[in-house]
Structure 1
């Protein structure tokens, strides 16, 4: 059984501009379909406004599609009952682009990482501290960082904290929403290498949403090119330079 199946997802937005007398329908995405297998990273690659964010929100259960379905571990996300929702919310995590806005600035690093543990696990404070220490070390940070706040950390360090939080519950799938685009080039490479190591170590599956061809090329097994709200081409990353669609070719050639 495939880990996640997105089948014919369509979402249309209704917009009313200042100079429009009537609201008009603008298609966010149309007929989006893809499959993610266990241990696989699928890259959703597209330019700004292509529909990538809409896809991510629908997969995360944050935005209901007008039509189509998302099946995760055999459960339809949008027809599931409360017990099923609790399970898939545990197994489906996310790392957002902006590492600072993704957390509560009043929380310490320990509180940030422990938040999902407190929601889903029953453990003593000592057990919690031990797990948080292990997670910090897993993402290349130190247990000494536990009592720091976001103001005391760089963007790269805080993104590692967000990754630690995302893997705390040992999820099956992590949605990576432009996870390195706000970081400098050196830190980007470090984070991507670490995400790849975590994928291999824990058998994680990723949905990487990005406009960055180099990031997608490094981390993904397959790439789905999105343009105008539609997937115009899907290809194995190993054959990226053999893409055929004009949009795909333009994006790839512009990055190399």
Structure 2
């Protein structure tokens, strides 16, 4: 069974305001269909306003489509009961572009990474500390970083923390919404290599939303190009790591 199946997704944003009320409504996404298999990465490329973020919100269960449906592990995201929603919310995680705003600046790095563990698992303090240390090491960070606050870390380090939090519950799917676009090229390369290793070692799937063609080609198995809310072309990925820096 395929992990994620989108069938004819359509989401329309209605114009509002006095001067725009007679204008035709803009399309968020229009009649989008795709299948994402376990352990694969689907890259979504497109310019701003193409509908990429709208699609990401639909996949995350945050924005119901006007028509069409989307299933995850055979469960319709917008027709599921409370028990099913709790499970797929555990199995679908997200990494956003702005690493700093995605976390509470008052929390320690340990608390940030441990937050999903506390929501879904019952670990002792020692077990939690060990788990957080392992997640930091997986992302190339020292366990000693767990005592820091976000303002004490660089943007690249914070994005690694966000990824560590996203993988804490061993999800089946992570939506990557422009995860490296605000970072310099060297840090981009390091994080993309970590993401690819995680995918290969754990069988995790990604929906990689970006306007960065090189990054998407490196990580994605298949790429969909979006324009005006529609897929206009499909292609394969598979760049090598050294291609990221030319």
Given the two structures, how large is their TM-score scaled by the length of structure 2? 0.95
Match of 2:242 in 1: none
2-structure distance, mates of 1:19, 1:212: 35
1-structure distance, mates of 2:34, 2:45: 13
Match of 1:29 in 2: 29
Residue ranges of structure 1 left out of the alignment (5+ in a row): 240-255
Whether the aligned pair in 1 keeps the contact of 2:59 and 2:70 (CA below 8 Å) is yes
Match of 1:51 in 2: 51
Task: After TM superposition, list the pairs within 5 Å mapping 1:5-20 onto structure 2.
Answer: 5-20=5-20
Residue ranges of structure 2 left out of the alignment (5+ in a row): 240-245
Residue 235 of structure 1, CA deviation: 2.1
Whether the aligned pair in 1 keeps the contact of 2:220 and 2:238 (CA below 8 Å) is no
2-structure distance, mates of 1:207, 1:47: 16
Instruction: Give deviations 1:196-216, integer Å, cap 9, x for gaps.
Output: 111111111100000000001
Whether the aligned pair in 2 keeps the contact of 1:5 and 1:33 (CA below 8 Å) is yes
1-structure distance, mates of 2:237, 2:183: 23
Q: Are residue 90 (structure 1) and residue 72 (structure 2) matched? A: no
Match of 2:152 in 1: 152
Match of 1:60 in 2: 60
Given the two structures, how large is their TM-score scaled by the length of structure 1? 0.91
Q: 11-20 vs 97-106, which deviates more?
A: 11-20
Say which SS state the counterpart of residue 25 (structure 2) adopts.
Answer: strand
Match of 2:181 in 1: 181
1-structure distance, mates of 2:28, 2:51: 6
Say which SS state the counterpart of residue 216 (structure 1) adopts.
Answer: helix
2-structure distance, mates of 1:23, 1:219: 39
Residue 16 of structure 1, CA deviation: 1.9
Residue 148 of structure 1, CA deviation: 0.4
Match of 1:242 in 2: none
1-structure distance, mates of 2:171, 2:21: 47
Residue 236 of structure 1, CA deviation: 2.1
2-structure distance, mates of 1:171, 1:18: 45
Residue 21 of structure 1, CA deviation: 4.8
Say which SS state the counterpart of residue 223 (structure 1) adopts.
Answer: strand
Task: After TM superposition, list the pairs within 5 Å mapping 1:62-141 onto structure 2.
Answer: 62-141=62-141
CA RMSD in angstroms comes to 1.4
2-structure distance, mates of 1:30, 1:21: 21
